[in-house]
Amino acid sequence: MSETLSATVERFLDHLKVEKDYSPQTLIRYRHDLTRLVEYAGARNIAEWNALRSDAVRSFIAGEHRAGIAPRTLQARLSACRSLFKFLLRGGELKHDPAAGVRAPKAPRKLPQVLDVDEMGRLVEIPTDGAEAKRDRAILELLYSSGLRISELTGLKWRDLDLADASVRVTGKGRKTRIVPVGAKALEALRVLRDLEQVTSEDEPVFRGRNGAAIGAATVRTRMKAWAKAQGIERRVYPHLLRHSFASHLLESSGDLRAVQELLGHADIATTQIYTHLDFQHLAKVYDAAHPRARRRKNER
């Protein structure tokens, strides 16, 4: 008796977990996406992968789009399907690629929000008159100093930090490790925190919650929102906003797109190129404010 479609998906997910060391979050997303494909195939009496054709996969994606699934989600869903099909093709279990020629709808390009330098300075320079405030200051400084993702920050242990070398080792998406510089202000805040915590083991988390365990992402978001309000910043502030601000400010100052890519840990430079659009927006604002012809045109509107 041939293996069911669901059983094949489970075998594929085991492969990703054991052989590829995929993160639990990625496996959860893959399971959801591939379950949707299995449900679609089952509703059309498709019982084996070799019976799945490109027109069926195209119809699956189109149906999900009509149901209101966002283009970016559909792109990720189709990517999960492609990964499964490649796995089966390599094992000789598929004779053709059912996703060949299939494309997900294009997502509108949305530029990330950033804080300007003055706003960023107000946010990180919070008063440090208590233990939690000292911890929060170190969190804010490090997020902006090194462009970390929130998952990278909450997973940090003291052994990942080299305060003497002014660097931090983080493990990002795809379990890829990179070493990132740490700025002087962040180093100062981290040294204050280390003295306060009286660290005895390098395996201790850098940022602790009230229970002594590593601080959670939700707590970081809540604290950051409260500090932004206290510092008079009217915009919505969240951890990834500091990463966007880090990238935009660094690119604006250096113009080195490849270096920013490495610091952010982007696998594809196209992901980093979005910040060049932000830089152009800044230049366009300067032009509109300063150029005589631009001012005249604006006044004529």
Catalytic residues: 149, 173, 240, 243, 266, 275
- Coil vs helix vs strand at 292: helix
Beta-ladder partners of 181: 167
Tokens of 209: 């919650």
Q: Which amino acid is at 263?
A: L
Two structure tokens written together for 31: 């399971």
Helices (DSSP H) in 91-183: which residue ranges? 117-124, 131-146, 150-154
Long-range CB contacts (within 8 A, 24+) of 105-112: 105/61, 105/65, 105/71, 105/74, 106/71, 107/70, 107/71, 107/72, 107/75, 108/71, 109/274, 111/274, 111/277, 111/278, 111/281, 112/240, 112/241, 112/244, 112/248, 112/274, 112/275, 112/278
Distance of CA 293 to the CA centre of its chain: 41
Cβ proximity of 153 and 239 under 8 Å = yes
Query: β-strands 177-181, 161-162: how paired?
Result: unpaired
For 86, residues 6+ apart whose C-beta sits below 8 A from its C-beta are 97
Chain centroid offset of residue 8 CA: 29
- Asked if 266 and 172 count as a contact pair (C-beta separation under 8 A), the reply is no
Tokens 């601000």 belong to: 245
* 233, 118 contact by CB (below 8 A): no
